[in-house]
């Protein structure tokens, strides 16, 4: 497994599938009474957010906390960044605090890549400028696979403001790796110049693409990044590239509608579509936590997935609660790795061993 996650292109097919499979196992935990694993206990995850975010920041925070990591939330507003501190100086401060992972969102494309040269921990790109947002692509792929059962050969249309969308780029790269066929649908003004080099098709006509589509992913019109007029009026954009109920009816019966959020209801997506049974928008948010848990776990812990099992009762709290999480702790990692004496380690704990920080340290 790689050390940083900067681009969806960093992931081989095997890496991507390992993340999705691990997320699938972790997702089972969401239904259990105790939703916490001791896996990253003693590790520090810093959320470094230079740009506004609701779901991504909360999602990474929830993911790190469910793995028992210590979480430090840093937002540029209210920090020394407002006094002009550079990214490098902020990074060195984090380094001094011993961050094991830094999750960064930044308005500048390339900022997460720069950070990898300044910190020892793993860097996870949570969205950089108009470049990439790899964990969003992973959670989207996870959602598609859950709903439709496969990714290979799946026909995915990504519609709208591709030019400003890091979500679109990461999705095209990841879906291509995973064998899906992607078509970008947008007005020519909202497509990047080099799009012909991307591993996907391009269309300007949404209505002809929809009947041949398994997944339609609507993108937000990113007005805050637009420094020119990219289309005549919002109404015209909406009429040609928006998804309303009439257009949704062109989709095959099994097809799903996705959106990374935040949505402009009434612009790229009609409210009745966003709230329909075909929409996976809320599911995407829930899946995001499991996928980010898998990413943090695999980057920080490393894994020996061969023979390891995540499912079953051992994720449930029953074995994980009690003495090994409590006060007189012989060392959670040891207990979990099944090395503690006194017959404490149940078979369940043995299997959770590969999730423990210590056990996986060796696998790095
Ligand atoms: C996206 C983002 O921030 O890149 N949203 C998200 O992460 N959920 C897409 C967007 O802002 O439109």
Q: Which one of 105, 169, 220, 259 is the catalytic residue?
A: 105
pLDDT for res 10? 95
Domain ranges of the chain: 135-282, 313-361
Strand partners, 157: 183, 216
The model's pTM: 0.84
| Residues of the chain predicted below pLDDT 50 | 303-364
Of ligand 1's listed atoms, the one at least distance from the Cα of 53 is 3
Q: 260 C-alpha to center of ligand 1: Å?
A: 6
| Residue 360 CA to ligand 1 centre (angstroms) | 32
Nearest-atom number in ligand 1 for the CA of 54 is: 8
Is 36 among the residues known to form the active site? no
Query: Cα(first)–Cα(last) distance of the chain, in Å?
Result: 9
Residue with tokens 């859950």, as numbered in its chain: 146
Q: Angle CA(29)–CA(31)–CA(32) in degrees, nearest 5?
A: 70
Ligand 1 mutation target, pool 63, 143, 217, 262, most atoms within 8 A of CB:
262
Q: Active site includes 55?
A: yes
Identify the pLDDT of residue 311. Answer: 39
Q: Catalytic annotation on 235? A: no
Distance 166 CA to ligand 1 centre (A): 8
Query: In Å, how far are 19, 73, 87, 284 from 105, measured between CA atoms?
Result: 21, 12, 12, 19
Residue 113 in tokens: 């890549």
Q: Which of 22, 56, 135, 143 is catalytic?
A: 56
Q: Could you give the maximum distance between any two Cα atoms of the chain, in Å?
A: 73
59 vs 78: CA distance, rounded Å: 21
Q: Check if the beta carbon of residue 283 is closer than 8 Å to that of residue 260.
A: no
Residue among 46, 51, 87, 25 at smallest CA distance from 303: 25
SS (H, E, C) the chain: CCCCECCHHHCCHHHHHHHHHHHHHHHHHHHCCCCCCCCCCCCEEEEEECCCCCHHHHHHHHHHHHCCCEEEEEECCCCHHHHCCCHHHHHHHHHHCCCCEEEEEECCCCHHHHHHCCCCCEEEEEEECCCECHHHHHHHHHHHHHHHCCCCCCEEEEECCCCCCHHHHHHHHHHHHCCCEEEEECCHHHCCHHHHHCCCEEECCHHHHHHHCCEEEECCCCHHHCCCCCCCCHHHHHHHHCECHHHHCCCCCCCEEECCCCCCECCCECHHHHCCCCECHHHHHHHHHHHHHHHHHHHHHCCCCCCCCCCCHHHCCCCCCHHHHCCCCCCHHHHHCCCCCCCCCCHHHHHHHHHCHHHHHCCC
Q: Rounded to an integer, what distance in angstroms lies between the CA atom of residue 159 and that of residue 138?
A: 18
Return the CATH number of the domain spanning residue range 135-282. Answer: 3.40.50.1370
Q: Is residue 17 within 8 Å of 303, Cβ to Cβ?
A: no
Please state the atom number of ligand 1 nearest to the C-alpha of residue 288. Answer: 8
Closest-CA residue, ligand 1 atom 11, reads: 262
Please report the atom of ligand 1 found closest to the CA of residue 126. 7
The per-residue pLDDT for 302 is 52
pLDDT score for 354: 39
- Confirm or reject: Cβ of 167 under 6 Å from ligand 1: yes
Binding site membership of 166 for ligand 1 (Cβ less than 6 Å): yes
pLDDT at res. 301: 80
pLDDT digits (tens, 9 = 90+) for 254-271: 999 999 999 999 999 999
The per-residue pLDDT for range 24-42, each reduced to its tens digit, is 999 998 788 888 999 999 9
């Amino acid at each position: 497994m790689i050390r940083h996650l900067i681009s969806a292109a960093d992931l081989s097919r095997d890496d991507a599938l390992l993340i999705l499979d691990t997320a699938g196992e972790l997702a089972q935990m969401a239904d259990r009474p105790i939703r916490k694993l001791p896996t990253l206990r003693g590790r520090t995850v810093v959320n470094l957010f230079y740009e506004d975010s609701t779901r991504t920041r909360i999602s990474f925070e929830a993911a790190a906390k469910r793995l028992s990591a210590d979480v430090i939330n840093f937002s540029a507003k209210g920090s020394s960044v407002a006094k002009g501190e550079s990214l490098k100086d902020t990074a060195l401060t984090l380094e001094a605090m011993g961050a094991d992972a830094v999750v960064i969102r930044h308005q500048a494309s390339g900022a997460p890549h720069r950070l990898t040269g300044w910190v020892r921990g793993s860097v996870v790109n949570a969205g950089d400028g108009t470049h990439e947002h790899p964990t969003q692509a992973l959670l989207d792929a996870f959602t598609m696979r859950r709903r439709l059962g496969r990714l290979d050969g799946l026909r995915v249309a990504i519609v709208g403001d591709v030019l400003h969308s890091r979500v679109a780029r990461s999705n095209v790269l990841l879906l291509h790796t995973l064998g899906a066929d992607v078509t970008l649908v947008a007005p020519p003004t909202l497509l990047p110049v080099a799009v012909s080099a991307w591993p996907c098709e391009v269309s300007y006509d949404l209505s002809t693409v929809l009947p041949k589509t398994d997944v339609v992913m609507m993108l937000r019109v990113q007005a805050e990044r637009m420094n020119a007029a990219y289309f005549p009026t919002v109404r015209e954009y909406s009429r040609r590239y928006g998804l309303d109920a009439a257009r949704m009816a062109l989709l095959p019966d099994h097809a799903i509608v996705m959106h990374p959020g935040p949505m402009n209801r009434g612009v790229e997506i009609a409210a009745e579509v966003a709230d329909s049974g075909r929409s996976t928008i809320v599911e995407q948010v829930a899946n995001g936590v499991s996928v980010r848990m898998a990413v943090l776990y695999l980057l920080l812990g490393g894994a020996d997935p061969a023979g390891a099992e995540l499912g079953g009762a051992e994720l449930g709290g029953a074995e994980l609660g009690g003495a090994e999480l409590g006060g007189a702790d012989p060392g959670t990692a040891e207990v979990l790795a099944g090395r503690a004496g006194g017959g404490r380690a149940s078979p369940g704990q043995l299997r959770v061993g590969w999730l423990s920080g210590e056990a996986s340290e060796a696998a790095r």
